[in-house]
Chains A and B, each alone.
Chain A
């Protein structure tokens, strides 16, 4: 019954909680049955129109977040061609969908061409126009304005036979202008201290990854064997340069840069094997998987910098060359046992070994002083063995229990093999961590339409790798679902508490999530949806820091972060006179922080307060009302118009940067479909 209600609901609620971006228009005009042509049925729809955006405030943040612009777009299109008897001459199905073509920042196209028994071809192409002003990480010196293009092609031969062949190709490129930064002392030292300076550099981003896949499936004697080999090649040929005088971020250093050039080609490969063997039966199912990857990278860096320091004109060259490799082996074995129809027991054992090694000969030459520093390479290796047993027992149709015990053991080895004097010693360090986790849950149906789920998970680790890793944690969760044909309500609660007591300080994090979701469809012409979530997070940790130039003694303090995010969402859809579709929505996301009204307490002089108080909390307000109107003009033609307003406001700002903006975006379009 629950499933029937769910399916029924999904049909009713399809438009009640549609996606948050105002276009493209999801409605279809005309018949969904398509038109018959020869032995095929063809369904087609496309929506084309004009999109506009008007922005005030931080355009950089808007482009980083929304990024819609002005112009004519093919907002959306769908083409489906189906063979009516499943015996087409060259194909039995073509499905082509596109989104945002014509200059939207997010464009995609998918294509499937399939001939029963013979082949299946899938293609996915995507373009992301990425812009980031880089304010919150580097005060705007890491601006990026790049495009990422991704495409995946997969061809399966003999898709319905016991022996199948798979061929695939993927390509991922990123290019465009960007800013980066370089920290230089220009005095021949690796470690600059207060005498160093940071300079913006122009970066010409050029990255490319190509992957070729070849594999197959064999279905024999109840076993299914999957084998795949993949050749992955990547290269990063981004270059960096500065032409002209740069005074840098630390003007008191007296270090200026007049010319800078860096080339650092990085080419490599990540070929991998994958093998999987599976068998599924009434009482037992077994699955085993092995992967082996051998990542390699060859690199060279040549950097030249010309500038002036208080010691006079400087000319510094840095040259680095070498390679790195990362072999990785993974194995999994899952055994599922079904001793009774109401009992499922699954045991999984996994092994993972990752090593990073190779050679890197780092040479930094100071042409002026004819001196050089050399450093060599670092090793990092991880080996994890884990075993998990999960049990699920269904007492009857309204009550079930589940539980599990997971154990994992991880060993990490690190060799910091540096040849220069300094803080590195070249010694090897090893650490092992054991994590034990217990999980228990119960699910029951007190009413025909209601399901309640309660669960908890507790974990103990003896030597977590980082201060923020899970050590002693407890997760509690509950969910209530109430689902009728025209009304549904969900409420969920999740709490996660982690306490990681470490040598210097304790780190604790406490997250509580509350969420509720309701949808109501009282009439076929009216649907309503609403959701509310509160996401709470607080964390506390100790910190050692310095708060004056070249200080001798460190200070200690607590670092606190408090976030209270309230997100609400209200959507309504009306169908008027069977030809007018009106959709309105409103979303608001607020982080109320810890309730304070100013970032830093008035009159504060304590360094710890001045440094950490302004970033303990980050209240903000983000609102997006939207509306869409779609009118059927003809059987196959609709006119659409949409508007969405964005208002983003940060209460305290970020350092001296104001990232807030407000924007009106919208579109008008025609949808033609049959």
Chain B
């Protein structure tokens, strides 16, 4: 046994309640494998060598790594000692969570998890709502993704460990959204029919991403649009302002055929049905 290490068997003498169910814990693999060095095995793999703790007959301050006493950065460093190589955690150092000192033990409960696989302290949505109460309000809107129903998880769209720069937008702060198929928007993981590629892309969809028109958490619109009525959304851009391209330098103003007093012209997608992109029509008619 290396210096200061006593082995997990010594720990269970006093911590039988934890040890009793520890074989159900993913970290038990380190014990079961039998070929890991002491600093990567069982209790001492995370908490450090236990000799001083045993000699002192207990006490938190004698545990080299007592997570409840550690500063957040020390918790992060300890867990990353083994988990740094996980592809899903490669951006954890620059994630918004790490900047806010939200580290592993804020979300994960190693010994008393509510979920057996990911060792989350609570069911996922409730865990995230605990800090993001404004997001809870968004999921209390009449139309939303089915997070409260348990059908969709926050991690379907977000990586709480940090994410790569998205392909849409200006590579600004990413809200830690996951990526679909290479580096595409997370929305495309489920809404694959919007992925294309289309011969006629609706440029804002590719350039700015889905969020330019949709609020995925919850909306007053059944299609999760940022406005309750569709034409007010479209007119935010198609308002005569110039940008890139031809007509009005690219962001088309309405043509004079569109009498906006007529309700049929207020239902933009009634004609422009392929608004996410079309293979046949630059106006997205078909």
Contacts and interface: CB of A to CB of B under 8 A. Distances in A.
Main secondary structure of the interface of B (DSSP, over half): loop
Contacts of B165: 330, 332, 348, 350, 352, 384, 386
B72 to A, nearest CB: 7
A600 interface: no
Contacts of B228: 136, 615, 618, 654
A116 B32 contact: yes
Contacts of A544: 239-240, 253-254
A47 interface: no
Given A280-B80, A470-B172, A358 B197 contact: yes
Interface in A282-324: 285, 287, 289, 291-293, 295-297, 299, 301, 303, 318, 320, 322-324
A390 B94 contact: yes
B1 interface: no
Interface size class of B (residues with CB under 8 A): 35 or more
Nearest to A7: B109
Given A41-B24, A160-B29, A467-B241, A531 B136 contact: yes
A180 B151 CA distance: 27
Nearest to A232: B181
A272 interface: yes
Contacts of B197: 268, 295-297, 324-326, 356, 358
A505 B241 contact: yes
A429 B246 contact: yes
Interface in A390-429: 390, 392, 394, 397, 400, 402, 406, 408, 410, 412, 414, 416, 418, 423-425, 427, 429
A532 to B, nearest CB: 8
B68 A4 contact: yes
B140 A377 contact: no
A622 interface: yes
A586 B224 CA distance: 24
B196 A410 contact: no
6 contacts: A80-B24, A142-B273, A378-B282, A507-B241, A517-B136, A607-B261
Given A11-B109, A33-B21, A360-B199, 18 more contacts: A10-B127, A11-B112, A137-B230, A183-B271, A191-B257, A193-B257, A264-B280, A354-B167, A414-B244, A416-B246, A465-B208, A479-B131, A507-B241, A531-B136, A545-B260, A550-B259, A567-B140, A615-B231
Contacts of A563: 220
A559 B236 contact: yes
A502 interface: yes
B116 A95 contact: yes
Contact of A174 (B127, B193, B264): B193
Given A344-B93, A400-B101, A543-B239, A466 B171 contact: no
Interface residues of A, number: 222
A669 interface: no
A569 B146 CA distance: 18
A466 B204 contact: yes
Interface of B: 20-21, 23-24, 28-29, 31-33, 67-73, 75, 80, 84-85, 87, 90-91, 93-94, 98-101, 103, 105-106, 109, 112, 114, 116-117, 121-123, 125-127, 129-131, 133-134, 136-143, 146, 148-151, 164-165, 167, 170-173, 181-184, 190, 192-193, 195-201, 203-204, 206-208, 212, 220-223, 225, 227-232, 235-237, 239-247, 249-251, 253-264, 266-267, 269-271, 273, 279-283, 285-286
Nearest to B83: A280
Contacts of B101: 400, 443
Contact of B229 (A362, A377, A615): A615
A546 B207 CA distance: 28
B143 A65 contact: yes
Contacts of A291: 182-183
Interface in A638-653: 648
Contacts of B241: 467, 502-505, 507, 542
Counting chain B CB atoms within 10 Å of each CB, the highest count among A85, A250, A295 belongs to: A295
Contacts of A490: 130-131, 133
B170 A249 contact: no
A6 B243 CA distance: 49
A437 B134 CA distance: 24
Given A425-B246, A550-B256, A285 B93 contact: yes
Contacts of A196: 271
A587 B129 CA distance: 14
Contacts of A37: none
A270 B167 CA distance: 15
Q: What 9 A-B pairs come out closest when comparing CB atoms?
A: A86-B32, A4-B68, A544-B240, A386-B171, A326-B197, A567-B137, A360-B199, A533-B137, A106-B151
A668 interface: no
A542 B148 contact: no
